[in-house]
Amino acid sequence: MLIDWFTVGAQAINFLVLVWLLKRFLYQPILDAIDERERRIAAELADAAAKQAAAQTERASFEQKNQAFDEQRAALLAQAVGEVQAERRRLLNDARQAADALAAQRAESLRSEANQLNAAIALRTQEEVFAIARKTLTDLAGVDLEERMVQAFTRRLSALDDAAHTTFAHALATASTPACVRSAFDLPAAQRTAIQQTIDTTFGMAIPLRFETAPDLVSGIELTGDGQKLAWDIADYLASLERSVEALLTAKSLPK
């Protein structure tokens, strides 16, 4: 008999025991180890994926910040350029205005210098004219300049037109203070008397007079009373001389 039934039973039990033992000592530990490793690998992969995602996010945010920074920089640069250009325009404007002001000042100073020069020339011319006239009159006619001026003044006084005459007469009659006769030089007593007589004769009444000397007077003699004024002077001559000198200067400076 090939089959021994006791052995069959024993082998079946042996086999079942072996199944239990191998389950206990082989399959379970090995499978647990594999599962544990797979879990760990999966965890590591998930961790890596999370890190990668985080890195991606960070990179995106960094790029965004970078872009924002670039844009901000470009905006600041554009603003700075704009400000610089505005400042440049302003400075140029200021410089131009300053230059204009300097030019105007210079022109003004030139003008005032010219005016002063003109005044000096006028004064000098007057003095020269007086000196020349005085010397000429003395040499040629034996006549005193001052005397001739008084004569001219009295002549003008006599030749007053009616309207002026009336106005002046009224002014002199109602004046509370004596009328004032001013001259560039001291009038001698004879000439003072002549003026007094001429005035009295002209206006037909005795008019009180006060004589004053004013060296800066351009004209020769003037009579003032209560707002009215009558004068003989050489201002007209001087003005015409000035005009001719100016015309000469202009003609000289033009060709330059």
The residue ranges that bind another protein (CB under 8 A) are 2-12, 14-23, 25-27, 29-34, 36-37, 40-41
Provide the 3-class DSSP secondary structure of residue 176: coil
Distance of closest approach, residue 54 Cβ to another protein, in angstroms: 24
Min dist. Cβ of residue 42 to another protein (A):
13
| Alpha carbons 45 and 51: distance in angstroms, whole number | 10
Of the pair 40, 135, the CB lying nearest another protein is at 40
Report which DSSP code applies to 175. -
256 bridge partner residues = none
H helical segments located in 142-175? 145-158, 162-174
* Least Å from the CB of residue 18 to another protein: 5
Closer to another protein at the Cβ: 9 or 178? 9
Structure letter (DSSP) for residue 26: I
Q: How far is the CB of 38 from another protein (least distance, A)?
A: 10
The least CB distance from residue 6 to another protein, in Å, is 6
Distance in angstroms (rounded) separating the CA atoms of residues 61 and 58: 5
Query: Tell me, what amino acid is at 21?
Result: L
Residue 232 sits at φ, ψ, to 5 deg, of -115, 125
Query: Minimum CB separation from another protein for residue 53, in Å?
Result: 24
**Residue 28 or residue 57: which is nearer to another protein going by CB?**
28
In the bound complex, what is the minimum distance in angstroms from residue 45's beta carbon to another protein? 13
Q: Which is nearer to another protein, 44 or 128 (CB)?
A: 44
DSSP track, 97-150: HHHHHHHHHHHHHHHHHHHHHHHHHHHHHHHHHHHHHHHHHHHHH---HHHHHH
d(CA 218, CA 236): 10
In whole angstroms, what is the distance from residue 225 CA to residue 207 CA?
10
Residue with smaller CB distance to another protein, 44 or 71: 44
| Residue number, 47 or 113, with CB nearest to another protein | 47
- Joined together, the tokens standing for residue 116 give 């002063």
Query: Which one, 11 or 61, has the nearer CB to another protein?
Result: 11
